[in-house]
């Protein structure tokens, strides 16, 4: 058998099977490392599933075959594309054992590529940090690009102080930070909505570059994206226009980010018009910009516009990618749901929707048909569903409460060689929790924790809090929340609101006002940003227990929070209703024995400390009372 490259995936698979058989039967003395290396490269070139590529590599390595160094590059690239970060780290370790550390630029390239394929609930960021630690231990002297690679990694992980330390070390080593270092620090603040800090760095960058030199468009893009994340498309447009005035031409990323902001605001007409604006400026059609507008169409169920955009996209010579199909599948799945239990599983394998419920609406059936058609079209285009595709179908099953459907999709996913990520495990936890199967939900979390293809994130920990709180295990729920808060702090993020909200709900359902308010106060003290629903729940719990002083303090805290739309008329109505209930209970208690009267008086005595006795009264912070 020679080492010539096979001409199809089937031929590549046949070559691997033949090599494996010869190695297993002991007749593999004439099997060369070149043959095995070429076979692995062929599997990757023809788009074989990562699980099968990895198995072929493992079999050859176990047989003592010394895979070539260039083949390791191919293996690592395939693992990154499959978002299997831990496999990347393992492959680099194997390469180091055989050939020594890869060159410095290779480490930096791998770290950057892992950060571009993070997914949700995958270990890609952790893998990138592990490679960074390998690089630091390799003995290489860092150059300026390597320092910036480390800075960018630290910012992605929320380690701002470590990123700044690397910038200082870069200067100490005699390297200029370069404009890229400022961009990296700007990105940290812009992603967190800290636009004042991002703009200060923008000003520092201008001074660093010299006042007369135009800045790179990426600096403007970071500011624009920050305003889009805040929902401020007016300021986003102002940044775009500012770039033009200052002699910097917008690029595709500028338009894609701005289009995302317009689409999120429901302004699809303006978002679509950006395609014409790009053409007028001489920019070629870009699939990312089309994707931003398509995503808005799918979220708002504007399918006529979506079909028109797809036709225009193809006319411009652009092929829809897996990302585009995932957007459309999500929109169809969530538009009216996929209530039929077997529907989602059938869609996962691009088969027919079996067992359609006669009670399903025509719209639901139509959407199921569209999902199936999209999956068939996707495969016909040579594209394979990925973890996001399957995650969307599983989430649709979760929304319909169908355990059997979700498990069938999961099974189809594994048959297709796609490993579940953290988002899928979290969806399954949510499904079992809402169906009352708490033990199953905990079992899924254990699988998530031990999986190589996924990692525990804030969403998973918030769901874990809900699982424990739902079964009344408040000690474990509190511990899970502390773990979530610690993870958020390590990433430079505020405590996750969903975990705190779950605790507040559970304590409220148990009638424990003191612990409920204590958890609320701790959340605020840790820098938590509660949504209105959480604040209103705390307010209602106070009124339910006739603790008008704490209720007024909750309202006062709400008025100090930015971005909360208060419903003062509703709060006043709830306050007055609670007052009437308290008076009725006092009157009822007056007709009973003295002990009952003292009990009611004690439970409502806190109303005397409510300031002016109205929702507008109250003291400073939210006070927790037992």
pLDDT, tens digit, 9 for 90 and up, residues 28-46: 567 889 999 999 999 999 8
pLDDT in tens, 467-479: 999 889 999 999 9
**CB contact at 8 A, 61 and 95:** no
Asked whether residue 548 is assigned to any structural domain, the reply reads yes
Distance from the Cα of residue 135 to its chain's centroid: 27
Residue 618 reports pLDDT greater than 50: no
Q: Is 460 exposed, middle or buried (0-12, 13-18, 19+ CB in 10 A)?
A: buried
With a cut of 50, say whether residue 604 has pLDDT above it. Answer: no
Percent of the chain clearing pLDDT 70 (strictly above) = 87
The pLDDT assigned to 27 comes to 64
Is pLDDT above 60 for 104?
Answer: yes
Q: In terms of Cα–Cα distance, which of 432, 487, 433 is closest to 457?
A: 487
Whether 4 shows a pLDDT value over 80: the answer reads no
What pLDDT shows up at residue 66? 94
Residue 570 in any domain: the answer is: yes
pTM for the structure as a whole: 0.80
Query: What confidence score (pLDDT) does residue 115 get?
Result: 93
Give the position of tokens 């109250």: 618
Mean pLDDT of the chain: 87
CA 503, 505, 507, 512 torsion: positive or negative?
A: positive
Angstrom CA distances, 422 to 55, 174, 461, 482, 567, stand at 23, 42, 11, 20, 37
Q: Quick check: is 546 in a domain?
A: yes
Is residue 255 within 8 A of residue 272, CB to CB? The reply is: no
Cα separation, 476 vs 478, in Å, equals 5
Q: Encoding tokens for residue 391? A: 């995650």
Higher pLDDT, 388 or 26: 388
Select the highest-mean-pLDDT range: 391-400, 527-536, 581-590, 602-611: 527-536
Number of domains in the chain: 1
The per-residue pLDDT for 31 is 85
Name the residue range of residue 584's domain: 534-588
Q: What's residue 29's pLDDT?
A: 67
Give the whole-angstrom CA distance, residue 22 versus residue 18.
Answer: 6
- Is 246 exposed, middle or buried, given 0-12, 13-18 or 19+ CB atoms closer than 10 A? exposed
Whether the CB-CB separation of 334 and 327 falls below 8 Å is answered with no
Per DSSP, 64 falls in state T
First to last CA, the chain: 79
pLDDT band at 274 (very low <50, low <70, confident <90, very high): very high
How is residue 451 written in tokens?
A: 């999986």
Residue in the block written with tokens 């209530």: 339
Instruction: Decide if 208 is inside a domain.
Output: no
**CA–CA separation, 2 and 15 (whole Å):** 10
280 occurs within a structural domain: no
pLDDT at 606: 47
Mean pLDDT of 135-143: 94
Instruction: Choose the weakest-confidence range: 287-291, 348-352, 387-391.
Output: 348-352
Whole-angstrom Cα distance, residue 503 to residue 467?
10
- What does the pLDDT read at residue 321? 94
Check pLDDT > 90 for residue 591.
no
Task: Give the lowest-confidence range in 132-136, 272-276, 307-311, 608-612.
Answer: 608-612
pLDDT of 541 reads 97
Judge whether 49 and 417 are in contact, CB under 8 Å: yes
**Is 559 within the bounds of a domain?**
yes
Residue 605: pLDDT over 60: no
Segment 274-279 mean pLDDT: 93
Render pLDDT for 285-344 as a digit per residue (tens, 0 to 9): 999 999 999 999 999 999 999 999 999 999 999 999 999 999 999 998 875 444 444 555
Structure tokens at 342: 């077997």
Cα dihedral value 98, 100, 104, 107, nearest 10: 40
Q: What is the pLDDT of residue 331?
A: 92
- Report pLDDT for 222: 98
Banded model confidence at residue 580, pLDDT cuts 50, 70, 90: very high
Cβ 338 vs Cβ 347: under 8 Å: yes
pLDDT band at 265 (very low <50, low <70, confident <90, very high): very high
Give residue 452's pLDDT. 86
480 within a domain of the structure (yes/no): no
The answer to whether residue 567 sits within a structural domain is yes
């Amino acid at each position: 058998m020679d080492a010539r490259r096979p001409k199809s995936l089937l031929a590549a698979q046949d070559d691997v099977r033949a090599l494996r058989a010869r190695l297993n039967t002991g007749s593999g003395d004439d099997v060369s490392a070149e043959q095995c290396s070429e076979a692995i490269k062929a599997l990757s070139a023809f788009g074989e599933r990562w699980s099968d590529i990895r198995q072929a590599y493992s079999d050859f390595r176990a047989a003592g075959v010394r895979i070539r160094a260039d083949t390791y590059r191919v293996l690592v690239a395939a693992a990154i594309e499959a978002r299997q970060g831990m496999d990347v780290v393992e492959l680099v370790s194997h390469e180091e054992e055989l050939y020594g550390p890869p060159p410095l630029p290779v480490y930096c390239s791998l770290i950057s590529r892992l950060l571009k394929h993070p997914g949700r609930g995958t270990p890609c960021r952790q893998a990138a940090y592990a490679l960074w630690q390998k690089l630091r231990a390799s003995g290489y002297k860092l150059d300026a690009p390597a320092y910036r690679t480390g800075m960018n990694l630290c910012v992605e992980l929320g380690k701002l102080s470590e990123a700044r330390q690397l910038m200082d070390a870069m200067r100490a080593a005699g390297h200029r930070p370069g404009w890229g270092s400022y961009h990296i620090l700007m990105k940290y603040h812009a992603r967190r909505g800290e636009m004042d800090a991002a703009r200060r760095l923008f000003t520092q960058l201008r001074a660093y570059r010299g006042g007369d030199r135009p800045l790179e468009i990426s600096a403007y893009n970071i500011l624009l994206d920050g305003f889009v994340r805040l929902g401020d498309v007016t300021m986003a447009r102002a940044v775009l226009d500012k770039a033009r005035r200052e002699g910097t031409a917008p690029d595709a990323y500028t338009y894609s980010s701005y289009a995302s902001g317009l689409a999120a605001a429901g302004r699809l007409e303006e978002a679509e018009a950006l395609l014409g604006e790009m053409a007028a400026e001489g920019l070629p059609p870009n699939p990312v910009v089309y994707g931003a507008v398509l995503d808005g169409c799918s979220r708002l169920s504007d399918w006529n516009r979506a079909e028109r955009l797809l036709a225009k996209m193809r006319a411009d010579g652009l092929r829809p990618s897996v990302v585009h199909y995932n957007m459309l599948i999500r929109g169809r799945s969530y538009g009216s749901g996929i209530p039929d239990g077997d529907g989602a599983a059938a869609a996962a394998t691009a088969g027919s929707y079996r067992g359609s419920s006669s009670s399903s609406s025509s719209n639901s059936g139509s959407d199921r048909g569209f999902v199936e058609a999209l999956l068939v079209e996707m495969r016909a285009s040579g594209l394979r569903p990925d973890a996001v595709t399957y995650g969307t179908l599983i989430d649709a099953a979760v929304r319909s409460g169908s355990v059997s459907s979700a498990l069938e999709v999961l099974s189809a996913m594994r048959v297709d060689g796609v490993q579940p990520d953290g988002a899928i495990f979290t969806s399954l936890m949510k499904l079992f929790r809402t169906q009352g199967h708490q033990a199953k939900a905990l079992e899924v979390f254990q699988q998530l924790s031990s999986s190589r293809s996924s990692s525990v994130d804030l969403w998973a920990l918030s769901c874990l809090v809900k699982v424990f709180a739902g079964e009344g295990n408040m000690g474990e729920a509190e511990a899970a929340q502390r773990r979530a808060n610690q993870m958020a702090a390590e990433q430079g993020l505020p405590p996750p609101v969903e975990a705190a909200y779950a605790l507040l709900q559970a304590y409220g359902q148990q009638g424990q006002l003191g612990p409920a308010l204590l958890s609320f106060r701790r959340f605020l003290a840790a820098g938590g940003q509660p949504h209105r629903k959480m604040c209103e729940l705390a307010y209602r719990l106070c009124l339910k227990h006739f603790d008008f002083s704490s209720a007024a303090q909750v309202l006062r805290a709400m008025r100090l929070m930015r971005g909360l739309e208060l419903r003062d008329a509703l709060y006043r109505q709830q306050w007055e209703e609670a007052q009437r209930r308290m008076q009725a209970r006092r009157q009822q208690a007056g007709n009973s024995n003295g002990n009952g009267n003292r009990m009611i008086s004690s439970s409502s005595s806190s109303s005397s400390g409510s300031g002016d006795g109205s929702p507008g009264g109250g003291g400073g912070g939210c006070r927790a009372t037992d």
